[in-house]
Amino acid sequence: MTAPPPDATDLAALVRSGAASPVELVDDAIARIEHLDPTINAVIHERFEAARAEAAGPIPDGPFRGVPFLVKDLGCEIADEPNAMGNRALAAADARATHDSYLYEAIRDAGLVTLGRTNTPELGGTITTEPVAFGPSRNPWNPDHSTGGSSGGSAAAVAAGMVPMAHAGDGGGSIRVPASECGLVGLKPSRGRISHGPTLGESWAGFTTDGVVSRSVRDTATMLDAISGRRVGDPYAASPPLRPFAAEVGTDPGRLRIGLAPDHQGVTTDPECVVAVERAGALLAELGHEVEIGQPAAFSDEEFSQHFVTIVAVATAIDFDTIGATIGRPVEENDVEPSNWVMGSLGRAVSAADYVHSINWVHAWSRRLQAWWEDFDVLVSPVIAVPPPPIGWLSDPELGTERLTSILQFTAQFNSSGQPAVSLPLHWSSNGLPIGVQFAGPIDDEALLIRLASQLESAAPWADRVPAIHR
């Protein structure tokens, strides 16, 4: 493949016009997975025959009717199919979902045909996809480098051209980091935009949400329309958009006041990531926006990390309970990876009072953070502080956690505040690896980010870039 593959919108148009059938699209995607996945290791569960049967039968007449799709093996259940969450104990027990999640119902109603499940780090606990259970996913731009995580398998599959779009989830950067490292669009929606039902009301105290990684802003916007909406019993509800998100694509965002944060207090940011933000700022200024160096004071609050970790640790301990209930015994140390054992053990030691204190602290902090958007429209920053690292750099048993903490300083804030944020593929490193730039908007205003992202996509197109795996 020397030319970029079509996006999901174009494939859906082929089906609508009769130029291609869903069966043809599915067979083509399966062939690409079979050819590329031995190198990339993005797809850990294949449902090819089920997908072929679905493609041949009646398909819901949604915006992506007949388009091939992949689902991350975390946060989106398909009844009677594997649901390992990157964990070796669940994989060994052949753990399977008991029901379809509301999210998967929406994916199916959009007309998408799911071909399988994608690789993810165990319990989504880090930003590289190298689980012991399934092995590392590899970056199509350079297989020696990480795909990011926790939606790294999905990002690798889309970047490699296996499918045009795939499910992703984000609790601390897990849509945006893989999008950044694989050269994709990755939008983390606002809290309450996507339902976690029917099993969960929230995950990680409301930090996590779902979305997709894609090659185009229009695919991301249209998919957000398809999967959005409050369901009965959901504890949060994002304000509904004034019109479909897809209608924002190509709409002039107007002149925006934009704060530029190329670095983070107390963090050493790789010069190439700084350059990515600075060039984005220059492009924004060329487009007529008011750009100035600035960020919320709360963005660099040193106390934030400890409360975020406390909440995630408790969530990990709860994951241990879920695993134990599935495998029929309490989780032991050799059932999970060392970093998660440490995190879950920390969570088990947190008192109920301390947990509530951390939640209350984050809520108060979020108000301070969001106040900055009363004077600004968008904050622009790196996604992470380094380009895509080599495989093994973040999974190192001695240094991995320290490295993770040092580079993941720009994304988790918006999981805690519930604000939307998107990574756009606006820069490539000197050795040809993608470096995304993050744009964070006001709460519930994905529409603003989509308008701006569409403007940037037109001004600095990325669709013609093809990963090294195809050269």
Under a CB-based contact definition with an 8 Å cutoff, are residues 131 and 440 in contact? no
Residue 40 tokens read as 């990339």
Mean pLDDT of the chain: 97
* In the chain, where the domains are located: 8-470
pLDDT of residue 4: 78
How confident is the model at residue 2, as a pLDDT?
Answer: 61
Distance (Å, whole) CA 175 – CA 152: 8
Q: Which of 101, 146, 174, 366 is catalytic?
A: 174
| pLDDT at residue 267 in the model | 78
Per-residue pLDDT, 280: 98
What pLDDT, on the 0 to 100 scale, is given for residue 246?
98
Catalytic one of 150, 358, 366, 429: 150
Q: DSSP letters along 293-314, please?
A: E---GGGG-TTHHHHHHHHHHH
- Edge-to-edge strand ranges of the sheet holding 68-72: 43-46, 113-118, 68-72, 165-170, 209-214, 185-188, 421-428, 434-440, 378-382, 257-260, 290-293
Q: What is the pLDDT of residues 189-223, one digit of tens each?
A: 999 999 999 999 999 999 999 999 999 999 999 99
72, 228, 416, 429: the catalytic one is: 72
Residue 207: alpha-carbon gap to chain centroid: 13
Q: How far apart (Å, rounded) are the C-alpha atoms in residues 347 and 317?
A: 5
The CATH classification number of 8-470 equals 3.90.1300.10
* Digit-coded pLDDT (tens) for 349-369: 999 999 999 999 999 999 999
Question: Quick check: 456 and 194 in contact, CB under 8 A?
Answer: no
- Half-sphere exposure (CA, 13 Å, Cβ side) for 207? 27
pTM for this structure? 0.98
Position 180 scores a pLDDT of 98
Contact residues for 465 (Cβ-Cβ < 8 A; gap 6+) = 4, 183, 425, 428
Is 406 an active-site residue?
no
Q: Is 72 one of the annotated active-site residues of the chain? A: yes
Residue 174 annotated in active site: yes
Q: In this structure, are residues 161 and 152 in contact, taking their beta carbons and an 8 Å threshold?
A: no
Report in angstroms the alpha-carbon separations of 188 from 23, 48, 63, 211, 394. Answer: 31, 29, 21, 6, 23
Q: Could you list the beta-strand ranges (E) of 230-384.
A: 257-260, 290-293, 378-382
pLDDT in tens, the chain (471 residues): 567 789 999 999 999 999 999 999 999 999 999 999 999 999 999 999 999 999 999 999 999 999 999 999 999 999 999 999 999 999 999 999 999 999 999 999 999 999 999 999 999 999 999 999 999 999 999 999 999 999 999 999 999 999 999 999 999 999 999 999 999 999 999 999 999 999 999 999 999 999 999 999 999 999 999 999 999 999 999 999 999 999 999 999 999 999 999 987 777 899 999 999 999 999 999 999 999 999 999 998 999 999 999 999 999 999 999 999 999 999 999 999 999 999 999 999 999 999 999 999 999 999 999 999 999 999 999 999 999 999 999 999 999 999 999 999 999 999 999 999 999 999 999 999 999 999 999 999 999 999 999 999 999 999 999 898 876
Q: What percent of the chain has pLDDT over 70?
A: 99
Radius of gyration of the chain (CA): 20
125 - beta bridge partners?
none
CA-based angle 204:78:213, to the nearest 5? 60
233's CB contacts (< 8 A; 6+ apart) are: 197, 198, 201
Q: Which of 125, 143, 208, 222 is nearest to 182 (CA)?
A: 143
